[in-house]
Amino acid sequence: MIADKGYSYPRCRTLLRQRGIPHTIPERSDQRARRAKRPGRPLAFDLERYRRRNVVERCFNRQKEWRGIATRFEKRADNYRSMLLLASLILWLD
């Protein structure tokens, strides 16, 4: 799981660790300040992996330019998937 700083709270990290889900979540500044008072093992964070997350987010944002996808106009799953596929192909060919 690759998440932003909004998911950087101990309960979320503990839950992911218990379920065996590897994660890359940056540490918030207030957490860094708190950990500076009680140093310990630093949290694992792969910067290169986190940077690749940006590519995926930009792809979703480009797809949401299509009104039918952004508003989920198609209610049937097959039709919605077809719209996603069509938008992805058009973006890929651009």
pLDDT in tens for each of the 94 residues of the chain? 788 777 787 888 889 889 998 888 888 777 777 777 777 766 777 788 888 888 888 888 888 888 888 888 888 999 989 988 998 898 888 7
Q: Quote the CA–CA distance of 25 and 16 in Å, as a whole number.
A: 11
Domain positions in the chain: 1-45, 52-94
Predicted TM-score (pTM) of this structure? 0.52
- Among the listed residues 84, 34, 33, the one whose alpha carbon sits nearest the alpha carbon of residue 62: 84
What residues does 24 pair with on adjacent strands? 2
